[in-house]
Amino acid sequence: MRARLLAANLVDLALAAAIAALPAHLLALGWTASLEGAIDGPSTVTRLGLFVVVTAAVFILFRWTLERDGQGPGKCLWSLRVKDGKVVQDEEGLAPLERLGVFAGRFTRPLLLGLVSVLILALWGESLERHVVQTRQLELLRRGFILEAEHGCCYMTEAKGECPRMLEVWAAVADRSDGKGYVPPRDYLLEKCPAARKYSRR
């Protein structure tokens, strides 16, 4: 019984994780994009932290909604039920294939949500992240152009005021550019702002 209960909980957790995958990814991108001076995509810690939080929220939501009759997805699949606060053997006595059909029929919506979430993340997650990151980098370059117009940062022999930070960010964006997206190639950016070369790490 304990092994089946553990397996049932793992089914619920896997389904919650599948549903949470896309929202957690979008939250991580949004969180990173909102940070001042952020250049790269979300860190591993940010990704894992938000994924755990969203997965836990979906898992708890399952407990509140899908198990009102004492049988959530995992317990349905493993022929278990909560009765009078205790986990007991389900009395329906269905064969494995029949049980699988009941499972798919009763929990179609969460199963489809999990499938769609994973598919979207697998097919478009990387390109979406690239779009968000490069849009952020273009915004940083735009700010750099404004500072350059006001203070001439890109041609200073000794950067002062806000220029050192601007040149550091400019060089960081240039170092990360492969020239294939929205951001111009590294050499082009450094030609536009020669003073940023000494901040480059490549």
Q: What are the phi and psi torsion angles at 81 (to 5°)?
A: -155, 145
- Is 173 within 8 Å of 39 (Cβ atoms)? yes
On the question of pLDDT at 85 being above 80, the answer is no
* E-strand stretches of 30-119: 80-83, 86-89
Q: Which residues contact 79 (CB under 8 A, 6 or more apart)?
A: 4, 89, 90, 92, 94, 99
Q: Give the integer Cα–Cα distance in Å for 114 and 120.
A: 10
The pTM assigned to this predicted structure is 0.82
SS3 81: strand
- Is 80 within 8 Å of 90 (Cβ atoms)? yes
Residue-wise pLDDT tens digits, 93-122: 677 788 788 888 888 999 999 999 999 999
Q: Which of 17, 9, 22, 18 is nearest to 73 (CA)?
A: 9
SS3 41: coil
Written as six digits, the tokens of 148 are 């350059």
On the question of pLDDT at 128 being above 70, the answer is yes
Give CA 17 to chain center in angstroms. 12
Residue-wise pLDDT tens digits, 8-66: 889 999 999 999 999 999 999 998 877 766 788 888 999 999 999 999 999 998 888 87
Written as six digits, the tokens of 112 are 């489809």
pLDDT of residue 34: 79
Query: Among all chains, which residue has been given the structure tokens 């493993």?
Result: 78
Length of the chain: 202
pLDDT of residue 93: 66
DSSP assignment of 92-110 equals S---HHHHHHHHHHHTHHH
Q: Which of 35, 82, 25 is nearest to 55 (CA)?
A: 25
pLDDT of residue 92: 67
> How many other C-beta atoms can be found within 10 angstroms of the C-beta atom of residue 114?
22
On the question of pLDDT at 198 being above 70, the answer is yes
Residue type, 164: P
Residue-wise pLDDT tens digits, 135-190: 999 999 999 999 888 888 898 878 788 889 999 999 999 999 988 888 999 999 99
Query: Among all chains, which residue has been given the structure tokens 């997650």?
Result: 125
